[in-house]
Amino acid sequence: MANREVVYTTCKSCHGGCGVKVTKEDGVIVKIEGNDKSLTGGTMCAKGLSSIQHIDNPYRIKYPMKQVGKKGEGKWKRISWDEALDTVAAKMKAAIADPGPQSIAISQGTGRGYNRYTMRMARSLGTGNAITPGYVCHSPRLGLYALVTGYGRLYCDYHGWGGVFPKTQIMWAKQLEISSADSEMCYWFMNSLDYVKNLIIIDPRASAYASRANLWIQPRPGTDSALALGMMNVIMEEELWDKDFVENWTYGFEELREHVKEWTPEKVSNTCWIPKEDVITAARMWAIDTPGTIQVGSSLERQANCGHTLRAITCLMGLAGNIEAPGSMISWVLPDTGLIEDFNLELPITDEMKKNIIGGDRFKMGATRTCNPDAMVKRILEGKSPIKVWFSVGGQQIVHMANTKEVVKAIEMVDFMSHTDLFMGPMAEAADIVLPAAHWLELDDVYDMHPRFFIEAHNKVVDPPGEARSDAWIFNEVGKRVVPDKWWNDDYEMLDYQLRRGKGKDGESALTWKDFSEKLISGCYGPDQVYYKYKTDFWKEGGGFPTPSGQFEFKSQHLESLGYPGLPQFAEPGESPVSTPDLYKEYPIVMSSGYRQPFYFLGQYRNIPWLRSFMEFPTCQLHPETAKLYDVEDGDIVWIESPRGRIRQKLRTFPGIKKGVLMATANCFYPEEPAKGYHGVFISNPNVLTSNNHLDPMYGSPDLTCLLCKVYKAKDEELTESVFHTEEYGFVPSSGMQDV
């Protein structure tokens, strides 16, 4: 009889959070399924369920290695952990001594639960030059929500804990059912649809719920702030705003009212290429059928007017009084452990660090705690590299930043880079040293990716392959070699420290990692959540918001003091039919990139056979009539070209996409393509096409989801790369890594 064992843990194959039940037989994982007693009720997606193929995968990095050829050549030699860590630490110490700690960059990818280690590492070394994709993903909304309400984390209350579900739900540039399948949202969102009266989708492309929506608006990509301003104008004209909330709890209403007057439904219609009736209907639904929620998608943050778009949408929330009411937008009360993020926030960012943040002089909202990655690339290319040592953990900057050609060139110019990852990919190939990271089934840690109302435990199920180690262990080992007073003797001490404020089993003692690991979750949910905090002393004695005026701020004096307009504005994308009409003649299609796929997570999982089998090539979408206009057909491999270069993707004609608009799959490379050429990063990745020249004035975000392109069929002789000719998707690792 096999020895069976069940372990409960938490998935993070995406941003994470689904409760998982794992069954092992004789120490080998035989089944992965949802934990029906967890907050996510036993639901899991294809990515998490395919984890058996993640942990036993030929692309896994198993040992520390150093590059022995030129960067990007894929010539690697196995080294010991001591050699790897000592080399990284020595490089950091030398950089701290000369020219100073600001010359160290610490980077990460999108949140995978280890973010707080990245930020603590940066602060403990004394550098403000942390690099994250936050400026195109989530940071603008958190910053803007904070500006208006004083509290940065506003979430949709899909839960019904206040006795009410949202009556109107807007899905604004968001395909929640795919992109937030995790514990963040989807489970509760699906349930809340039983109670919704108006579901409004604002998306140039039909997402899964468009067919169920009462109203589906298809704006031209990059024009959403005009739509939000126009909806506010209708609300003002028809006097539909929430009188009590506006009168008693807001600042700057009259100025906003005057400001949005020019945004008539006709003007919005001309700007966004939508019927003017859509603006009026959406505004009425939103303001009359309250409470309501707006789920914002990050396509709006991958645009150079993102600051004002998010501000306009936030003002729209306040106009309808959809703040802090049950079934509206709410800031959650945290678990009793507080924000595990305090682990990095407790190390203050000093004036000296701030002064040296790259891009800090230009992007006064975005580059305050992290640097602006595009400004950094430009500085390196100018030959004045401010970065001597780059400690990269997760994250594929080569793939995910605008203008791939420039990014590759800049990264190759950095003196020393290490990269920590589970799999070989473009960033690892560009590194001098690679450190092998453990999968979530192979580590113990606190899951705190979205510090909302709960934290969960990642419990180790099996040992990592070879000498792979958890990110927490790796950060701590590097940290204690360079700044020992800010790090711990071992990573379990560090876990205990992070949980120190939590209540233990007896309700008195501090929560330890061991207790928490058994408990699996600590949270504040159900009747323990608090609504209408601004009507109580929660934020301010006597009530109010934690803003400078104590009110919900339609107009921002803080922005004005930084030299930005205090009221939300519209601006055309850097390249668009309106801003660059000549370019539009040559590149006559408006392009967006993104639209998450259920079986990939950004650039990840094209090396997972089960997941790759759903979609061999990245696809792009065009309306059948647009496709006909440019002589391309469903199933063609097409060239998509912009002034910066061209890529190939497979065309899917789709009547659900706006005519004249192309949507491309983002974040693509091919693990099976050779290391040289960074695993095919130039074959299909839309960032070969995007520009890093036109950036949001507040956040520094480039136009990744609104630019211009042309499209034409690729000839057979142009499909030379192996990816176009593999029968079995070529799962053979190209750089022979696993044999070292």
Task: Return the number of the residue (16 or 318) whose C-beta is nearest ligand SF4.
Answer: 16
State the minimum distance, in angstroms, from the CB of residue 20 to ligand SF4. Answer: 7
State the minimum distance, in angstroms, from the CB of residue 51 to ligand SF4. Answer: 8
Binds 9, which of ligand SF4, Mo ion, ligand MGD, none (CB < 5 to 8 A, cut-off by type)?
none
Task: Return the number of the residue (224 or 553) whose C-beta is nearest ligand MGD.
Answer: 224
The alpha-helical segments, DSSP class H, found in 491-547 are 491-498, 513-519
State the minimum distance, in angstroms, from the CB of residue 440 to ligand SF4. Answer: 9
Residue 183 is given by DSSP the state T
Q: Is 39 in the site for ligand SF4 (CB under 6 A)?
A: no
State the minimum distance, in angstroms, from the CB of residue 21 to ligand SF4. Answer: 12
User: Cα 228 to chain center, whole Å?
Assistant: 23
Rounded Cα distance between 553 and 700, Å, is: 23
By rule CB under 5 A, what string of x and - marks binding of each residue 108-127 to Mo ion? --x-----------------
Residue 65 is given by DSSP the state E
State the minimum distance, in angstroms, from the CB of residue 48 to ligand SF4. Answer: 3
The C-alpha torsion from 381 through 383 and 385 to 390, rounded to 10°, is 50
Binds ligand SF4 (CB under 6 A): choice among 48, 128, 143, 326: 48
Rounded Cα distance between 112 and 318, Å, is: 31
Beta bridge partners of 455: 522
State the minimum distance, in angstroms, from the CB of residue 369 to ligand MGD. Answer: 17
Q: Is 112 in the site for ligand SF4 (CB under 6 A)?
A: no
Binds 16, which of Mo ion, ligand MGD, ligand SF4, none (CB < 5 to 8 A, cut-off by type)?
ligand SF4
C-beta nearest to ligand MGD: residue:
109
- Tokens standing for residue 572: 């055309």
Q: Where does this chain touch ligand SF4 (CB under 6 A) — which range of 41-49, 270-278, 476-484, 564-572?
A: 41-49
The alpha-helical segments, DSSP class H, found in 203-289 are 224-237, 243-249, 253-259, 265-272, 276-288
Question: Beta-carbon neighbour count of residue 492 at 10 Å?
Answer: 16
Task: Return the number of the residue (38 or 626) whose C-beta is nearest ligand SF4.
Answer: 38
Binding site for ligand MGD (CB under 6 A): 14, 109-110, 112, 114, 133, 136-137, 172-175, 178-179, 202-205, 207, 219, 221-222, 224, 297-299, 302, 393-396, 399-400, 420-423, 425, 437, 471, 592-598, 600-604, 663, 666-667, 686-687, 690, 704-706
Binds ligand SF4 (CB under 6 A): choice among 29, 39, 45, 206: 45
Binds 437, which of ligand MGD, ligand SF4, Mo ion, none (CB < 5 to 8 A, cut-off by type)?
ligand MGD
Rounded Cα distance between 619 and 634, Å, is: 10
3-state secondary structure 130-173: EECHHHHCCHHHHHHHHHHHCCCCCEECCCCCCCCCCCEEEEEC
C-beta nearest to ligand SF4: residue:
48
Rounded Cα distance between 391 and 418, Å, is: 5
Rounded Cα distance between 725 and 444, Å, is: 41
State the minimum distance, in angstroms, from the CB of residue 228 to ligand MGD. Answer: 10
- The helices-and-strands tally (H runs, E runs) of the chain is 27, 27
C-beta nearest to Mo ion: residue:
137
Task: Please classify residue 563 by burial: count the beta carbons closer than 10 Å to its beta carbon, then call 0-12 exposed, 13-18 middle and 19+ buried.
Answer: exposed
Binds 44, which of ligand MGD, ligand SF4, Mo ion, none (CB < 5 to 8 A, cut-off by type)?
ligand SF4
By rule CB under 5 A, what string of x and - marks binding of each residue 60-99 to Mo ion? ----------------------------------------
State the minimum distance, in angstroms, from the CB of residue 479 to ligand MGD. Answer: 15
Binds Mo ion (CB under 5 A): choice among 18, 61, 65, 137: 137
Task: Return the number of the residue (182 or 673) whose C-beta is nearest ligand SF4.
Answer: 182
Q: Is 47 in the site for ligand SF4 (CB under 6 A)?
A: yes
Q: Is 44 in the site for ligand SF4 (CB under 6 A)?
A: yes
Task: Please classify residue 585 by burial: count the beta carbons closer than 10 Å to its beta carbon, then call 0-12 exposed, 13-18 middle and 19+ buried.
Answer: exposed
State the minimum distance, in angstroms, from the CB of residue 592 to ligand SF4. Answer: 24
| Angle, CA of 390, 341 and 561, to the nearest 5° | 80
Q: Is 457 in the site for ligand SF4 (CB under 6 A)?
A: no
Task: Return the number of the residue (151 or 187) whose C-beta is nearest ligand SF4.
Answer: 187
Rounded Cα distance between 539 and 153, Å, is: 14
Task: Return the number of the residue (154 or 325) whose C-beta is nearest ligand MGD.
Answer: 154
Name residues contacting ligand SF4, limited to 174-193 (CB under 6 A).
Answer: 181-182
- Tokens standing for residue 379: 């500085």
Binds 435, which of Mo ion, ligand SF4, ligand MGD, none (CB < 5 to 8 A, cut-off by type)?
none
- Enumerate long-range contacts of 24-32, CB under 8 Å, 24 or more apart: 24/461, 24/462, 26/2, 27/3, 27/462, 28/462, 29/55, 29/441, 29/461, 29/462
Rounded Cα distance between 60 and 466, Å, is: 10
| Residue 167 · residue 198 · CB < 8 Å | yes
Strand bridging mode 19-25 / 552-553: unpaired
Length of the chain: 740
By rule CB under 6 A, what string of x and - marks binding of each residue 5-24 to ligand SF4? ------x-xx-xxx------
Binds 11, which of Mo ion, ligand SF4, ligand MGD, none (CB < 5 to 8 A, cut-off by type)?
ligand SF4
State the minimum distance, in angstroms, from the CB of residue 411 to ligand MGD. Answer: 13
Task: Return the number of the residue (179 or 556) whose C-beta is nearest Mo ion.
Answer: 179
State the minimum distance, in angstroms, from the CB of residue 459 to ligand SF4. Answer: 15
The terminus-to-terminus CA distance of the chain in angstroms comes to 36
Binds 18, which of Mo ion, ligand MGD, ligand SF4, none (CB < 5 to 8 A, cut-off by type)?
ligand SF4
CA distances to 33, 229, 231, 261 from 264, in Å: 52, 9, 9, 7
Amino acid at 59: Y
| Residue 9 · residue 20 · CB < 8 Å | yes
Q: Is 449 in the site for ligand SF4 (CB under 6 A)?
A: no
Applying CB under 6 A, which residues contact ligand SF4?
A: 11, 13-14, 16-18, 44-45, 47-48, 181-182
